[in-house]
Amino acid sequence: MSLLGAPARLRPLVAAIRTVGRRWFHIQPADVSSFLAATGIKELDAVFISRGTSRPRDNDASLAVLIQADRDPRPWPHDAGAVQKASFFGPSITAAPAHALASRRDGAGGQLGQGGLGLLALRRDKPDEVRQISIPSSSTNSFDQVEADRFVASLGIDSATNQEVAKTLRGFWQLFDRHEGLWFTFKLAQTNGKVEVIDPFLEFDDFSVPRQPLLQSYHASRPLDDNTRLAEKGGLFYLPLPPTLPRVGKVGCFGYGAGNAMATMDGLNLVGGGPANFLDGGGGANRQNARLAIETLNRQAEVKSIFVNCFGGITRTDIVAQGIVDAVRENGISKPIVVRMKGTGSEDAAKTLRESGLEFAFHDDFREAAAHAVRAAEDGHL
């Protein structure tokens, strides 16, 4: 069986990684008001935020809204009778009267983030109750006020403040567009002529942060455990997996390249064990980040053995080996460490580990190495 030849067995682990190991973050609820004020978007000036409401308002003048970085292809807008152009990919706005969701569980419907309102499930089950507009990713195509007014009116909500709702909706679209949003959900209630934004969930891509000064302080202050924060500061992509999730085990694994790191996790499952984390060394292998990777895994309490799997193409495995030795010497690491390296510098890597005077297990074969790491996690030694 090939390393990736068991999709049915590995599906629970993939789902777990998608749930826990995402490269995006959301604005904390207590920070939403200050965040919206800092955007300078005038359409959001007059809104007020309400939190802690477990269900959408069930009056006719309330909306449930999802703005997402949609992955589904859409046909280009065209006039009646015009030749259909190619499909495009772009963000979408989905909305429905909140009363249509009142009987649904919050979170239903395949949401990307944690703020699902069940709109996708409602669109699937009762498409006539949902409206959606897709916006081509182009500066010449935008969600202007006329489109916003028309979109809100199409939902059949009879209210004197429809214009204010449309204005608020457009403001959130501008926020999503300007600051590289991924997934926004919120409910809009019309109260005493004003628009109330209920339980806003605003999610952004981590990789947009260097381009987005507004997001940087919120990203830096998001809740993280100390070990994850140290790893992130050192340029590692480190995601500890809760031991309660399926296919999660006791082996701390590490490699360079996301594909290699994922394949390493799969391989541990295929030999009867499981990974305790995802750890990709990032954009380039060096002695410092190899040392930090081993230190990070050593600090994770659930890790009982460490498995390093590196393939040397442009990666210098001999330099990685030096970093591994540095970590063990400088920190007195006693957890068993299994190393599998192939390719550029692997002979020198094996020599470095062998002559270090420290205890490592070195393998050429991946399956043998993975099985050894699983045994070491159970036995507590090599």
pLDDT in tens, 146-162: 888 889 888 876 666 68
SS (H, E, C) 245-314: CCCCCCEEEEECCHHHHHHHHHHHHHCCCCECEEEECCCCCCHHHHHHHHHHHHHCCCCCEEEEEEEECC
Name the residue with tokens 């390393």. 3
The SS3 of residue 101 is: helix
pLDDT of residue 72: 63
Could you identify the residue written with the tokens 């993939």?
14
Listed range (133-137, 336-340, 352-356) with the worst mean pLDDT: 133-137
Relative orientation angle of helices 226-233 and 287-299, to the nearest 10 degrees? 170
Using DSSP's 3-state secondary structure scheme, residue 45 falls into coil
The structure tokens 């085990």 sit at 249
136 and 76 Cβ atoms separated by less than 8 Å: yes
The domain spans of the chain are 7-17+224-379, 29-220
Closest CA to 326 of 294, 279, 296: 294
Q: What confidence score (pLDDT) does residue 22 get?
A: 52
230-270 residue pLDDT tens: 998 898 999 999 888 888 999 999 999 888 999 999 999 99
| Residue 234 burial class via C-beta count within 10 angstroms: exposed 0-12, middle 13-18, buried 19 and up | middle
What are the structure tokens assigned to 94, written together? 């989905």
**Pairwise CA distance, residues 296 & 300, whole Å:** 7
8 A C-beta contact, residue 120 and residue 67: no
Classify domain 29-220 at the CATH topology level.
D-amino Acid Aminotransferase; Chain A, domain 1 (3.30.470)
Distances in whole angstroms, Cα of residue 230 to Cα of each of 237, 274, 334, 336, 357: 11, 24, 21, 22, 28
Single pTM value for the model: 0.71
- Rama region for 270: left / alpha / beta (φ>0; ψ in -120 to 50; rest): alpha
| CA atoms of 56 and 102, how far apart (whole Å) | 6
Q: What's residue 89's pLDDT?
A: 64
Continuous segment of H or E residues that includes residue 55: none
Mean of the per-residue pLDDT values of the chain = 83
Q: Quick one: 7-17+224-379 is in which CATH superfamily?
A: Succinyl-CoA synthetase domains (3.40.50.261)
